[in-house]
Structure 1
């Protein structure tokens, strides 16, 4: 689509985080044509910068602390964490910040993805 072309949609979703994905899924299931506008990664902040990466970083620390309290295995949880391995695991958990899977899911439900930003020119609409 060029800047001079326009396509009409029943629903335009601004942002492809969890809520935006849910709205797109429900509107497509209802048979409405749906466009999703996202300037960053489909899946949103939780998947790539907040919830998932922080949990991936915390898990090794928690697992080691838990193991230290278990008789018979506490000796296995001594020493330092391998920081490089912990960070590599975090990167793996967030798919190295690639949203191909989520983009494919949007395509699979029949929603059109537009990379960029959007705004509502008329708040009444």
Structure 2
């Protein structure tokens, strides 16, 4: 199993699991897992609203990573562009930068939702 496929599958399953926990409000406020901004941590209502708001993006992100991991597993060694993408440092770096940007955007959105809940 190529390392890229393993990473994509593992991260995808983790993101799916976290998104599902957040959607179902099964993850209580804590200092370990979840968004840790002051607004989100200000109350239980803010915590649950913020995490429910970002649950679907996390689920979609996880599902896309799982699909990408499956594509790499199926076509690795059979399609030249996949071998290039898996071995390319530029593709790997752009993937990592993209993931960080998405996670930052999700955190900002969660913080905005929490602030709205805190004001009401």
Check whether TM > 0.5.
no
TM-score norm. by structure 2 comes to: 0.35
The structure with more strand, counted as a fraction of residues: 1
TM-score norm. by structure 1 comes to: 0.34
1 or 2 for the larger relative contact order (CA 8 Å, sep ≥6)?
A: 2
